[in-house]
A and B are shown apart, each in its own frame.
Chain A
Amino acid sequence: MATANCWRCLGRPSTHRLLAPSSLTSFKAPTSVAAFTTSATLLAKDDNSFSMKGHVRTGKRLVLGKKKKGRGDRSKPPGPGERKAFRKRIQLSNDNALKVSGLPELEAQKLVDPAAVGQIVSLPTDLVDQLRTVEAFKPTQNWGLFRSPHMLVRKDTVDFLGDLTKRVGNKETVRTVIGGERGVGKSMLGLQTMAAGFMNKMVVINIPEAQDLVEARTDYSPIPRTTPEQFSHPSYILKLMQAIRSANEEILSKEIVKLEHIHLPVSVSRNSSLASLANATKEPEFAWPIFNALWQELLQPGRPPIMFTLDGLSHIMRISDYRSPSFNLIHSHDLALIRLFVEALGGKTHFPNGAAIVGVTTKGNSLKVKSMDKALEQAAADQAGLPIPERDAFYAKYDERVFEALKGVKVFDVKSISKPEARSLMEYWAASGVLRMRVDEKTVSERWTLAGNGVLGELERASLYVSRL
């Protein structure tokens, strides 16, 4: 073993050198170096020192022919579809949130009662199941922050649903498009509409994302003997039919098949219920004929009223990404399911039992469809009794079918919430332990103003996103 003292060093051998030989390796600031020495300076340096890192721009040095080792995540990558499932998951409860007691449960009457405006109501478990089945909840909504699903009954809700339920009760057909600024709660109003539909014993059919039908994400097949040629989405329709059956089982199981369905590939006995008709097949290729048969059955007099809602209206007002066998792009309205909705919305379908056809527009994920914008503008002007704005004479690409589809619809513009509504909502958030601040008039007014005078989405953004994962 070499001595700790330097051979040629003129320094006196000292005890501390003998005691701490390891200090030689980590020689940063030698405190007891001899004043004069002929031995070479110690060049071994600390690995962490700057000078060992080479050039200042070492990270940018080109390294060829070598794979970086020890980098990257060695864990198993997520399986196919796992990431999307995580992204699209809907979490309706959170045990970490505090339980808010003393809030009333939602009833059918509450949604149309002007006195209930500004109340937070909890959703009954059955209703939550139904809404979940028809995919009324959206992954973008913040249900996962709270102990159990609650919602605000706002003035727009009462206005819209009061009118809707009254007219549907009179066996009228309500054809409405829900519009409004981004984040004001259009999809939420759609959910409340569906809740009202379930509570008022309507058959609720919901297409949660219209873009799933037009962006060539699901399989499609031509429907034989149709002119012009139409196309169905076998898997999607099968899934939709099962959702309709399980969400509306209580109603559908009471209704009995009235029509002869000889042409159907499956035998449907006359006395079977509509629920069993909806459940008649698990084969995607038979999905469209059976769905069509179910639709025809529902249109028969004496049936419960239908509620057909669709979210993302602008997506179905354009030419889809699907192609026909002759490789032409298919217009969205030639896709059978969309055609069903569009004909209902445009007033071509007669509903003897009353119906509510509601299209919800989106602003976050939407296309600029000039035809739809103009049609809705005209519809709104017509509704308000104003002179109808004319089409732009120099825009050649107006789609006549869009104007047909939106002929005579009512446009409901969702507005921002008022301060009392914002206060009750913020009180609920605070009581859940999500909004950790004192909720008084000052803070409410502050947040309400911050949120563009009560745009609900912005209010959530200003208050909740601090704690959102």
Chain B
Amino acid sequence: MAFAVRSLRAGLRSCSRQPTAARGIAPPRTALYAKRALSSTPTRRADDKDSKDSKSQPADSPAAKETPTAAPAPAAKASKPAAADNAELRESLKTDVVPNEVQGLMSRRNPLKSTPSKSQRQAEARMLQTYENQSNFTAEQKAIFDELEKEIDLLDNAVTEATAVPKKMKKETFWGEDEEDPDMLVEDIDDEEPADDDIMSMAHGKLEEFREYREYARVAAWQMPLLSKLTRKFEPPTAEQCLRFRYTTYMGEEHPAASKVVVEFSPRDLPLNAAQQLKLKKLLGARWNPETDIAKMSCEQFDHQAQNKRYLGDLVEKLVAQAKDKTDMFEDVPLDTRHHQIKVRPKFPKEWRLTEERMQKLEEARQQSLLLDQAKEQGGQLVDGNERVDKFFAEPAMANLRIPERLSVKKSSPRASR
């Protein structure tokens, strides 16, 4: 009997506790019914008929809608199996247990509440008390029961722990998103919501572009005409200004070639006679262009343009002095022009231009050639290759053979006559 009590208690507790699936882990899908190996009939649940019946009461039927007693079908369906189990239990406990208390125990529906509440424990104790009062146990038996009860409690605790709703574990995500990043600057980020009345940044950029166009258009319209005030008349360089310097500016930017100065001059413009000019050309070497007769030199070895220019000026003076030096006029050295390839650019010949006169001449030539062809054709002198060949093949074959002649030659030969 005592066994029965304890087992009853254990059973009650286990019943009161609805197993919950561990979070995050999908519960193994168990087959609700044994699959038939081979069947042609459609599968159906045993209680399908009931559910069908409950379903057969159409939810949208006016009677169902009107009567609040008719519970919605899914709720009824969900409670059904549990209610059936409890009914069996109730049946078995009818004789011994106070129905109210059992009812109260069975009515515990909260699955999350695993540990029994105070009232439940009291109910339990009371129920056990009634059992103990009804039956008489010896001290020994009681001791054994207590021991058993302890063990059951231990077990019960273990089961409770195992089936408890697991605590929400802090996920260790792959990227560590949940971790706080001490290095991240969050103060600067403007968390303000974007204003709905503003345009996109690209549109702002486009606007800025238009503003720029308009700005330069204004400059072109208003300021640039004023530049004409600064114009100066071109004065060709005089005989004294035979050197042409070229400077480069990079508009305020730093550039390694900013201090570079280039000088160009022609040996013809310098105060030299022909022999001295030739010597100067030989001295200039590859810096002299034989096609344009212009020498070109540059200097960028000093930091300032003025220094470079000074150096170039001095160099030209030195060259002129050397060219005038009569001690060695380099007469034995040929002028080297191998550094320069003169490109010949063919131009459309003047004679080929289709002037009216030439067109007339061409037309005449064409007419003459037509006339020539006509005359030849009329005279039968026009030669046609195809025609000749066809004519040759059209001739009778025997006309080409000279067999009779050969035979006659043979006959007339002296040997034959002998």
Contacts and interface: CB of A to CB of B under 8 A. Distances in A.
A56 interface: no
B83 interface: no
B384 A430 contact: yes
A445 B334 CA distance: 49
B384 A433 contact: no
Given A394-B338, A441-B373, A431 B388 contact: yes
Contacts of A437: 384-386
B387 to A, nearest CB: 8
A439 B382 contact: yes
B401 to A, nearest CB: 14
Interface in A430-460: 430-431, 433-442, 445
Contacts of A445: 369
Contacts of A430: 383-385, 388
Contacts of B335: 393
Nearest to A441: B369
B338 A438 contact: no
Nearest to A390: B334
Nearest to B389: A433
A430 B386 CA distance: 8
A437 B386 CA distance: 6
A431 B383 contact: yes
A444 to B, nearest CB: 9
| Residues of B contacting A: mostly | helix
Interface string B351-392: 000000000000000000110110010000011111111001
Interface in A351-387: none
Nearest to B335: A393
A76 to B, nearest CB: 36
A59 to B, nearest CB: 44
B385 A435 contact: yes
Given A98-B392, A433-B392, A438 B334 contact: no
B373 A440 contact: yes
A97 to B, nearest CB: 10
B259 to A, nearest CB: 36
Interface residues of A, number: 18
Contacts of A322: none
Interface string B221-233: 0000000000000
Contacts of A440: 373, 376, 382
A427 interface: yes
B388 A433 contact: yes
Contact of A427 (B336, B372, B383, B389): B383
A425 to B, nearest CB: 11
B385 A429 contact: yes
Nearest to B369: A441
A440 B386 CA distance: 13
B384 A98 contact: no
Contact of B388 (A98, A393, A394, A442): A98
Contacts of B376: 440
Contacts of A427: 383
Contacts of A434: 385
B241 to A, nearest CB: 35
Contact of B386 (A393, A438, A441, A442): A438
A436 B389 contact: yes
Contacts of A435: 385
B377 to A, nearest CB: 8
Interface in A80-131: 98
A357 to B, nearest CB: 34
B270 to A, nearest CB: 24
A441 B373 CA distance: 7
Nearest to A420: B372
Contacts of B372: 441
B385 A433 contact: yes
A394 B334 contact: yes
Nearest to B392: A98
A438 B336 contact: no
Interface of B: 334-336, 338, 369-370, 372-373, 376, 382-389, 392
25 contacts: A98-B389, A98-B392, A393-B334, A393-B335, A394-B334, A394-B336, A394-B338, A427-B383, A429-B385, A430-B383, A431-B383, A433-B392, A435-B385, A437-B386, A438-B383, A438-B384, A438-B385, A438-B386, A439-B383, A439-B385, A440-B373, A440-B376, A440-B382, A441-B370, A445-B369
Query: What are the 3 tightest A-B residue pairs by CB atom distance, in nearest-first order?
Result: A393-B334, A441-B369, A430-B385
